[in-house]
Amino acid sequence: MRAYYQGNLEGNIRDLEQSLLRESGDVSLIWQLVRSYAELGKGDAAAALLERVRRDKPADPETERELFVTFCLAGNYQKALGILPLSRETGETLFYEALVHRDTGNPAKAVAALRKSLAAENFRPIAWLLLGELLAESAPAEAETCFRTALRQDPELHVALLPLGKVLLAQKHYKEAYQQLNRAQQYFPRQDAILQALNAALRGQPELLREQETPPVRRSITASPPTVKALGGAAKDIPLVRIGLAEGQSLITVKTGGPYVLRLPGEKPLFTGKAQEQLWAEARTGKLFLQDSGGKTLVIAAQPVVLEYQEPQHTTIVSGFSAEDRSYRGSIEFRPAPAGLTLINILNIEEYLYGVIPAEMPASWPTEALKAQAIAARSYTLAYLGEYKAKGFDLYGSVLSAAYRGVGGEARATTAAVDATRGRYLQAGGKPLRAYYSANHGGYSEDSRSVWGTSTFNAAVADKLLAPRTHPLSLDELARWIRDKPRSYSSVANLHSSQAYRWEKWVAAEEIRSRNAADGNDVGEVLQVISRGRGISGRINEVEIRGTQGTVRIKDDRIRSRLGGLRSNLFTIRSKLGKNGRPEYFIFQGAGWGHGVGMDQSGAAGMAQAGFTAAQILQHYYPLASLAP
């Protein structure tokens, strides 16, 4: 087991095989080997061991289910059919039964099994995708609904975009077909089928190409910037923070909430304006051009220009860099650069947190959880001041740092939590703690050294209702722990997403190839995805992707994106073979949502509901830190 957690899966298999020769009746060793063979894609070897277990325990439904699934994934359909009917039928086993029927040329039986599976367990994106594919020719409208459902349940299921585009074409919905197919081409640029479908859309509606080439028009903001209750004089001793809202923008529109000035940082005003004025900020040849709504140029500068108010209750609406217009407290800085405008929001930390906490945690959650979140976010902010100084700001205005939606996202309960904890933060090593947090750690958090390779005083801790581990779980124990969904504060009803605590994701082998090729690592057709080391929680800190044209290793938090947008690094790996005997899909069964370091937001809410205070919650998740002041 030590070899496996150190990244040597093959060495671990050799050790287990030797142990099994000495103790041939040890079922736990057999199951460990089954899981290890499955990760390497050796389905036949895993099945042979499971058949051995089933001979000894023919009535065990878990062994029966696992053997059936293993046969299905390995493409051994005759043996899979020979096990049916199962003693315990579930939505999952019905889905695998549908796979067998699909791949053995029985589409009607496959459709019937999929419908029955989805009636039992509606949330299964891959099942909706397969049902859509089977219905595409005979019932394109229903297939369209299936593909949309699959993408709604899993927006990262990009392989659904091409078949969705095709059924839209079949129904002569050319414009949306063109849009969906363009999205598909972004993810799979080398697929001839996508280009053929795009050409079909253009033949049906030639003006689509002209629409795409039409330059964007300057937007007008019709709403009025809201007035807010500001800290005013109480903010004079609170540090300011600079939030990078957007980079590389060609055109930004803003609307002022009160009388304002435009100035170079620290200098006299360049221009004085009125409330409800609309300004356009444009980057050209490394310079900033600020114009009014009539097109008159107010300022041309090669340096940053700040829009600020004398009265702190005024806000600014910003449009042009996100899907929605947003209002922000404080000042707005326009920073010209060769690549375009950088937009920065400058305000005090406490009022910044007003917009962060409700974006990070539902305002309806227990008060003590909101307070814990406020203190953790304040600590994180203080620790990151100056982090992106070369870019002109301290933190990103997105999940790259912390989610931040400005005034529109503020809520009374979260503002009260920020005010109730004003100035309080966590410290460790004599500095503000980089207090990381994520949506759900699945029952066990991870040490930052395992996730990012550096120590940040964020230690691995078990959920308060689960036992701490003195040693890593075996691969079989980990797989069962993920599958069994142990009760914890991270899984309290109404305080977590069921798809955050435990999840399953099918990722097409072509998707993994495409994502890695986009990063300059095209390994060809993907043959294996192998874990190369885990932390105490079971989170993988490195994977190896083997393909027909090479091998690449991926470390740390990049693993999630390079393997298809996984929710966390805490997962097991299996593969589903296609008709050519090579992996068609990789199947990841996992736990948690996010990096898993620091505070579990769902767990904090569960603890708060159970009566724990914010201080107790923080002490649990950050045992190496203390509250200050």
pLDDT tens digit string along 210-258? 665 555 567 789 899 999 999 988 888 999 999 999 999 989 999 999 9
Residue 218 lies in a domain: no
Same domain, 149 and 243: no
Query: Is the CB of residue 293 less than 8 Å from the CB of residue 278?
Result: yes
Handedness of CA 212, 218, 221, 227 (dihedral sign): positive
Residue 123's CATH number: 1.25.40.10
377 lies in the same domain as 525:
no
Cβ neighbours around 296 below 10 Å, total: 8
Q: Is residue 209 over pLDDT 80?
A: no
Helix axis angle, 412-420 relative to 349-360, nearest 10°?
A: 130
Domain end: 389, 423, 457, which one? 423
Residue 221 lies in a domain: no
- Residue 216 falls inside a structural domain: no
Same domain, yes or no: 627 and 488: yes
Q: Are residues 380 and 443 in the same domain?
A: no
Q: Is residue 543 part of a domain?
A: yes
- 17 lies in which domain range? 2-211
- The tokens describing 501, both together, are 């605590």
State what percent of residues in the chain have pLDDT above 70. Answer: 98
Helix (H, G, I), strand (E, B) or coil at 263: strand
Specify if 223 maps to a domain: no
Residues 181, 253 within the same domain:
no
pLDDT value at 144 more than 60: yes
Question: Confidence class of residue 201 from pLDDT cuts 50, 70 and 90?
Answer: confident
Beta-sheet pairing, 599-600 with 437-438: parallel
pTM over 0.75: yes
**Could you tell me if 309 and 198 lie in one domain?**
no
Question: Does 485 share its domain with 374?
Answer: no
Question: Are 89 and 238 in a shared domain?
Answer: no
Distance, CA of 552 to CA of 153 (rounded, Å)? 30
**Do residues 411 and 447 share a domain?**
no
Q: Over the stretch 524-547, which tens digit does the pLDDT of each residue have?
A: 999 999 999 999 999 999 999 999
Angle of helix 614-621 relative to helix 367-383, nearest 10 degrees, comes to 50
In a domain, 220, yes or no: no
- Residue 368 located in a structural domain: yes
155, 248: one domain: no
Q: Is residue 217 part of a domain?
A: no
Where do the H-state alpha helices sit in 205-303? 207-213
Domain boundary among 398, 423, 448: 423
Where is the domain boundary, 387, 405, 423? 423
Check whether residue 132 and residue 259 sit in a common domain: no
Q: Residue 579: is its pLDDT beyond 90? A: no
Q: Are 160 and 263 in the same domain? A: no
Number of domains within the chain: 3
More confident call, 2 vs 424: 424
